[in-house]
Structure 1
Amino acid sequence: MKVASIKELKDELGHRSKEELLDYCLQLSKFKKENKELLTYVLFDSINEEEFIAQIKQEVEIQFELINKKKFYLIKKSVRKILKMIKKYIRYSKKKETEVELLLFFCAQLADFSPSIKRNTTMLNLYNRQLLLVKKGITLLHEDLQYDYELELQEITL
Protein backbone atom coordinates (compact mmCIF):
# COMPACT_ATOMS: atom_id res chain seq x y z
CA MET A 1 0.00 0.00 0.00
CA LYS A 2 1.36 3.40 -1.02
CA VAL A 3 1.25 6.00 1.76
CA ALA A 4 0.01 9.45 0.74
CA SER A 5 2.17 12.51 1.26
CA ILE A 6 1.32 15.16 3.84
CA LYS A 7 0.18 17.55 1.09
CA GLU A 8 -2.16 14.94 -0.38
CA LEU A 9 -3.59 14.22 3.06
CA LYS A 10 -4.05 17.92 3.79
CA ASP A 11 -5.85 18.50 0.50
CA GLU A 12 -8.12 15.50 1.00
CA LEU A 13 -8.94 16.44 4.60
CA GLY A 14 -9.90 19.90 3.37
CA HIS A 15 -12.73 18.35 1.41
CA ARG A 16 -14.16 16.37 4.34
CA SER A 17 -16.98 17.38 6.70
CA LYS A 18 -16.53 18.20 10.37
CA GLU A 19 -18.12 14.89 11.44
CA GLU A 20 -15.79 12.89 9.21
CA LEU A 21 -12.75 14.71 10.59
CA LEU A 22 -13.89 14.01 14.14
CA ASP A 23 -14.31 10.34 13.29
CA TYR A 24 -10.81 10.21 11.73
CA CYS A 25 -9.24 11.76 14.83
CA LEU A 26 -10.95 9.24 17.08
CA GLN A 27 -9.84 6.39 14.84
CA LEU A 28 -6.25 7.62 14.97
CA SER A 29 -6.34 7.87 18.76
CA LYS A 30 -7.40 4.23 19.03
CA PHE A 31 -4.43 2.84 17.10
CA LYS A 32 -1.35 4.19 18.81
CA LYS A 33 -0.63 5.54 22.24
CA GLU A 34 1.47 8.34 20.72
CA ASN A 35 -1.49 9.49 18.62
CA LYS A 36 -3.62 9.71 21.73
CA GLU A 37 -0.86 11.56 23.60
CA LEU A 38 -0.47 14.06 20.76
CA LEU A 39 -4.21 14.62 20.61
CA THR A 40 -4.26 15.14 24.40
CA TYR A 41 -1.47 17.69 24.11
CA VAL A 42 -3.15 19.58 21.26
CA LEU A 43 -6.56 19.65 22.90
CA PHE A 44 -5.68 20.19 26.56
CA ASP A 45 -2.01 20.84 27.31
CA SER A 46 -1.07 23.30 24.56
CA ILE A 47 -3.31 25.90 26.22
CA ASN A 48 -1.03 26.08 29.28
CA GLU A 49 2.54 25.32 28.22
CA GLU A 50 3.99 26.09 31.67
CA GLU A 51 1.79 23.45 33.30
CA PHE A 52 2.73 20.98 30.55
CA ILE A 53 6.44 21.59 31.23
CA ALA A 54 5.91 21.25 34.99
CA GLN A 55 4.18 17.90 34.52
CA ILE A 56 7.01 16.60 32.36
CA LYS A 57 9.63 17.80 34.85
CA GLN A 58 7.79 16.03 37.64
CA GLU A 59 7.68 12.82 35.59
CA VAL A 60 11.41 13.13 34.81
CA GLU A 61 12.23 13.54 38.50
CA ILE A 62 10.24 10.43 39.32
CA GLN A 63 11.95 8.47 36.54
CA PHE A 64 15.41 9.53 37.77
CA GLU A 65 14.54 8.35 41.28
CA LEU A 66 13.46 4.94 39.93
CA ILE A 67 16.75 4.27 38.12
CA ASN A 68 18.50 1.07 39.17
CA LYS A 69 21.97 2.27 40.22
CA LYS A 70 23.67 -1.11 40.54
CA LYS A 71 25.28 -1.15 37.07
CA PHE A 72 26.11 1.57 34.58
CA TYR A 73 24.46 -0.50 31.85
CA LEU A 74 21.11 -0.20 33.64
CA ILE A 75 21.69 3.48 34.34
CA LYS A 76 22.45 4.19 30.66
CA LYS A 77 19.39 2.28 29.55
CA SER A 78 17.13 4.19 31.95
CA VAL A 79 18.62 7.58 31.09
CA ARG A 80 18.14 6.94 27.38
CA LYS A 81 14.52 5.97 28.07
CA ILE A 82 13.96 9.24 29.95
CA LEU A 83 15.58 11.24 27.14
CA LYS A 84 13.42 9.47 24.56
CA MET A 85 10.31 10.45 26.53
CA ILE A 86 11.47 14.08 26.76
CA LYS A 87 12.19 14.23 23.02
CA LYS A 88 8.71 12.89 22.27
CA TYR A 89 7.10 15.65 24.32
CA ILE A 90 9.35 18.23 22.67
CA ARG A 91 8.10 17.04 19.27
CA TYR A 92 4.51 17.48 20.46
CA SER A 93 5.14 21.04 21.59
CA LYS A 94 7.26 22.30 18.66
CA LYS A 95 8.33 25.31 20.77
CA LYS A 96 12.02 26.11 21.19
CA GLU A 97 11.46 27.47 24.72
CA THR A 98 9.98 24.14 25.77
CA GLU A 99 12.83 22.23 24.15
CA VAL A 100 15.50 24.32 25.85
CA GLU A 101 13.80 24.21 29.24
CA LEU A 102 13.23 20.45 29.21
CA LEU A 103 16.72 19.62 27.96
CA LEU A 104 18.25 21.97 30.53
CA PHE A 105 16.26 20.23 33.23
CA PHE A 106 17.37 16.82 31.94
CA CYS A 107 21.02 17.93 31.94
CA ALA A 108 20.68 19.33 35.46
CA GLN A 109 19.22 16.05 36.69
CA LEU A 110 22.00 14.13 34.97
CA ALA A 111 24.72 16.40 36.38
CA ASP A 112 23.38 15.90 39.93
CA PHE A 113 22.95 12.17 39.45
CA SER A 114 24.84 9.81 41.66
CA PRO A 115 26.94 7.84 40.83
CA SER A 116 28.58 10.59 38.82
CA ILE A 117 28.34 10.37 35.04
CA LYS A 118 31.93 11.61 34.81
CA ARG A 119 33.08 8.02 35.35
CA ASN A 120 31.32 6.78 32.22
CA THR A 121 32.29 8.00 28.75
CA THR A 122 28.98 7.10 27.13
CA MET A 123 26.96 9.00 29.71
CA LEU A 124 29.29 11.97 29.50
CA ASN A 125 28.95 12.03 25.70
CA LEU A 126 25.15 11.86 25.95
CA TYR A 127 25.22 14.75 28.45
CA ASN A 128 27.50 16.83 26.19
CA ARG A 129 25.31 16.20 23.12
CA GLN A 130 22.26 17.46 25.00
CA LEU A 131 24.20 20.54 26.13
CA LEU A 132 25.07 21.26 22.49
CA LEU A 133 21.38 21.01 21.56
CA VAL A 134 20.52 23.39 24.40
CA LYS A 135 23.14 25.90 23.24
CA LYS A 136 21.86 25.66 19.68
CA GLY A 137 18.26 26.14 20.87
CA ILE A 138 19.18 29.12 23.03
CA THR A 139 20.58 30.99 20.04
CA LEU A 140 17.13 30.83 18.38
CA LEU A 141 15.29 32.45 21.30
CA HIS A 142 14.57 36.08 22.21
CA GLU A 143 17.51 37.98 23.76
CA ASP A 144 15.97 38.14 27.26
CA LEU A 145 15.32 34.41 27.28
CA GLN A 146 18.79 33.77 25.91
CA TYR A 147 20.34 35.54 28.88
CA ASP A 148 18.22 33.64 31.42
CA TYR A 149 18.90 30.26 29.86
CA GLU A 150 22.63 31.02 29.48
CA LEU A 151 22.78 31.60 33.24
CA GLU A 152 21.04 28.27 33.88
CA LEU A 153 23.38 26.56 31.44
CA GLN A 154 26.46 27.89 33.24
CA GLU A 155 25.10 26.54 36.55
CA ILE A 156 24.76 22.96 35.32
CA THR A 157 27.92 22.64 33.22
CA LEU A 158 30.18 19.93 34.66
Structure 2
Amino acid sequence: MKAVSVVTIKKELQHRSSEELMELCLRLSKFKKENKELLTYLLFESHDEAGYIETVKQELDQQFNNINTDSYFYIKKSIRKILRNLKKYARYSLKKETEVELLFYFCATLKDFKPSIKYNVTLTNIYNRQILSIKKTVKTLHEDLQYDYRMMLEDLED
Protein backbone atom coordinates (compact mmCIF):
# COMPACT_ATOMS: atom_id res chain seq x y z
CA MET A 1 0.00 0.00 0.00
CA LYS A 2 1.34 3.39 -0.99
CA ALA A 3 0.94 6.30 1.44
CA VAL A 4 -0.72 9.47 0.17
CA SER A 5 0.79 12.93 0.55
CA VAL A 6 0.42 15.10 3.64
CA VAL A 7 -1.64 17.60 1.65
CA THR A 8 -4.15 14.89 0.73
CA ILE A 9 -4.35 13.73 4.33
CA LYS A 10 -4.88 17.31 5.52
CA LYS A 11 -7.75 17.82 3.06
CA GLU A 12 -9.38 14.59 4.16
CA LEU A 13 -9.02 15.44 7.86
CA GLN A 14 -10.84 18.73 7.31
CA HIS A 15 -13.97 16.77 6.40
CA ARG A 16 -13.95 14.66 9.57
CA SER A 17 -15.75 15.39 12.84
CA SER A 18 -13.84 16.01 16.06
CA GLU A 19 -14.88 12.60 17.41
CA GLU A 20 -13.57 10.87 14.30
CA LEU A 21 -10.32 12.82 14.61
CA MET A 22 -9.96 11.70 18.21
CA GLU A 23 -10.49 8.08 17.24
CA LEU A 24 -7.92 8.39 14.45
CA CYS A 25 -5.35 9.89 16.84
CA LEU A 26 -5.92 7.15 19.41
CA ARG A 27 -5.64 4.46 16.78
CA LEU A 28 -2.47 6.04 15.42
CA SER A 29 -0.94 6.12 18.90
CA LYS A 30 -1.39 2.36 19.24
CA PHE A 31 0.86 1.51 16.32
CA LYS A 32 4.18 3.13 17.07
CA LYS A 33 5.89 4.20 20.23
CA GLU A 34 7.10 7.40 18.53
CA ASN A 35 3.53 8.39 17.67
CA LYS A 36 2.54 7.99 21.30
CA GLU A 37 5.59 9.94 22.48
CA LEU A 38 4.82 12.78 20.06
CA LEU A 39 1.20 12.94 21.18
CA THR A 40 2.37 12.96 24.81
CA TYR A 41 4.65 15.90 24.08
CA LEU A 42 1.99 17.83 22.16
CA LEU A 43 -0.76 17.26 24.73
CA PHE A 44 1.09 17.45 28.04
CA GLU A 45 4.56 18.95 27.69
CA SER A 46 4.58 21.48 24.84
CA HIS A 47 3.29 24.28 27.09
CA ASP A 48 6.29 23.90 29.47
CA GLU A 49 9.41 23.70 27.29
CA ALA A 50 11.82 24.12 30.23
CA GLY A 51 10.17 21.21 32.04
CA TYR A 52 10.39 19.11 28.90
CA ILE A 53 14.10 19.86 28.56
CA GLU A 54 14.68 18.88 32.20
CA THR A 55 12.77 15.63 31.71
CA VAL A 56 14.88 14.75 28.67
CA LYS A 57 18.08 15.64 30.54
CA GLN A 58 17.11 13.32 33.38
CA GLU A 59 16.48 10.53 30.89
CA LEU A 60 19.87 11.22 29.25
CA ASP A 61 21.55 11.01 32.67
CA GLN A 62 19.89 7.68 33.29
CA GLN A 63 20.99 6.38 29.89
CA PHE A 64 24.57 7.55 30.47
CA ASN A 65 24.60 5.80 33.85
CA ASN A 66 23.47 2.55 32.23
CA ILE A 67 26.32 2.45 29.70
CA ASN A 68 28.41 -0.69 29.82
CA THR A 69 31.97 0.63 30.19
CA ASP A 70 33.71 -2.73 29.73
CA SER A 71 34.91 -1.79 26.25
CA TYR A 72 34.74 1.14 23.87
CA PHE A 73 32.63 -0.99 21.52
CA TYR A 74 29.74 -1.00 24.00
CA ILE A 75 30.30 2.64 24.85
CA LYS A 76 30.09 3.65 21.17
CA LYS A 77 26.89 1.69 20.63
CA SER A 78 25.30 3.25 23.71
CA ILE A 79 26.39 6.79 22.85
CA ARG A 80 24.93 6.46 19.35
CA LYS A 81 21.66 5.21 20.82
CA ILE A 82 21.53 8.10 23.30
CA LEU A 83 22.21 10.60 20.50
CA ARG A 84 19.50 9.03 18.33
CA ASN A 85 16.98 9.41 21.18
CA LEU A 86 18.10 12.99 21.84
CA LYS A 87 17.57 13.93 18.19
CA LYS A 88 14.13 12.34 18.28
CA TYR A 89 13.14 14.33 21.36
CA ALA A 90 14.46 17.54 19.81
CA ARG A 91 12.45 16.81 16.66
CA TYR A 92 9.25 16.58 18.73
CA SER A 93 9.74 20.13 19.96
CA LEU A 94 10.59 21.78 16.62
CA LYS A 95 12.32 24.57 18.57
CA LYS A 96 15.96 25.21 17.74
CA GLU A 97 16.64 26.45 21.29
CA THR A 98 15.54 23.12 22.70
CA GLU A 99 17.76 21.24 20.27
CA VAL A 100 20.76 23.39 21.17
CA GLU A 101 20.15 23.01 24.92
CA LEU A 102 19.93 19.23 24.61
CA LEU A 103 23.02 19.01 22.42
CA PHE A 104 24.96 21.19 24.87
CA TYR A 105 23.95 18.89 27.68
CA PHE A 106 24.88 15.80 25.65
CA CYS A 107 28.31 17.21 24.77
CA ALA A 108 29.04 18.32 28.33
CA THR A 109 28.07 14.90 29.68
CA LEU A 110 30.08 13.13 27.00
CA LYS A 111 33.11 15.32 27.69
CA ASP A 112 33.02 14.42 31.41
CA PHE A 113 32.32 10.74 30.73
CA LYS A 114 34.65 8.15 32.25
CA PRO A 115 36.55 6.48 30.59
CA SER A 116 37.55 9.53 28.60
CA ILE A 117 36.42 9.83 24.98
CA LYS A 118 39.84 11.27 24.10
CA TYR A 119 41.22 7.75 23.79
CA ASN A 120 38.73 6.72 21.11
CA VAL A 121 38.63 8.31 17.66
CA THR A 122 34.99 7.42 16.97
CA LEU A 123 33.72 8.97 20.20
CA THR A 124 35.83 12.07 19.64
CA ASN A 125 34.39 12.38 16.13
CA ILE A 126 30.83 12.04 17.46
CA TYR A 127 31.58 14.79 19.98
CA ASN A 128 33.11 17.06 17.33
CA ARG A 129 30.19 16.53 14.92
CA GLN A 130 27.74 17.57 17.63
CA ILE A 131 29.78 20.69 18.37
CA LEU A 132 29.60 21.55 14.66
CA SER A 133 25.88 20.88 14.68
CA ILE A 134 25.46 23.24 17.63
CA LYS A 135 27.44 25.96 15.83
CA LYS A 136 25.33 25.55 12.70
CA THR A 137 22.05 25.71 14.62
CA VAL A 138 23.15 28.65 16.77
CA LYS A 139 23.73 30.73 13.62
CA THR A 140 19.99 30.55 12.88
CA LEU A 141 18.93 31.89 16.31
CA HIS A 142 18.37 35.41 17.61
CA GLU A 143 21.52 37.51 18.15
CA ASP A 144 21.20 37.61 21.96
CA LEU A 145 20.85 33.84 22.13
CA GLN A 146 23.77 33.46 19.71
CA TYR A 147 26.01 35.38 22.08
CA ASP A 148 24.95 33.31 25.10
CA TYR A 149 25.39 30.04 23.25
CA ARG A 150 28.79 31.08 21.87
CA MET A 151 29.97 31.69 25.43
CA MET A 152 28.76 28.23 26.38
CA LEU A 153 30.50 26.78 23.31
CA GLU A 154 33.80 28.36 24.31
CA ASP A 155 33.51 26.75 27.75
CA LEU A 156 32.72 23.40 26.17
CA GLU A 157 35.61 23.53 23.71
CA ASP A 158 38.23 24.28 26.38
Q: Which has the higher contact order (CA 8 A, sep 6+)?
A: 1
Aligned to 1:126: 126
Q: Identity of aligned pairs, percent?
A: 59
Aligned to 1:65: 65
Q: TM-score, normalised by structure 2?
A: 0.97
Aligned residues: 158
Question: Unpaired segments of 5 or more residues in structure 1?
Answer: none
Aligned to 1:39: 39
Which secondary structure does the structure 2 equivalent of 1:31 belong to?
coil
Q: Show structure 1 runs of 4+ deviating over 6 A.
A: none
Task: Please list, as runs of the form range in 1=range in 2, the aligned pairs for 1:38-117 lying within 5 A after superposition.
Answer: 38-117=38-117
Give me the whole-angstrom Cα distance separating, in 2, the residues matched to 1:60 and 1:154: 23
CA RMSD of aligned residues (A): 0.8
AA matched with 1:75: I
Give me the whole-angstrom Cα distance separating, in 2, the residues matched to 1:67 and 1:153: 25
Give me the whole-angstrom Cα distance separating, in 1, the residues matched to 2:2 and 2:81: 32
**Cα-to-partner distance string for 1:68-125 (whole Å, 9 max, x where unaligned):** 1110000001111110110110110010000100001100011111111111111111
Shift of 1:2: 1.7
Shift of 1:155: 1.1
Give me the whole-angstrom Cα distance separating, in 2, the residues matched to 1:59 and 1:147: 28
Shift of 1:63: 1.1
Question: Unpaired segments of 5 or more residues in structure 2?
Answer: none
Which secondary structure does the structure 2 equivalent of 1:141 belong to?
coil
Give me the whole-angstrom Cα distance separating, in 1, the residues matched to 2:22 and 2:28: 10
Aligned to 1:24: 24
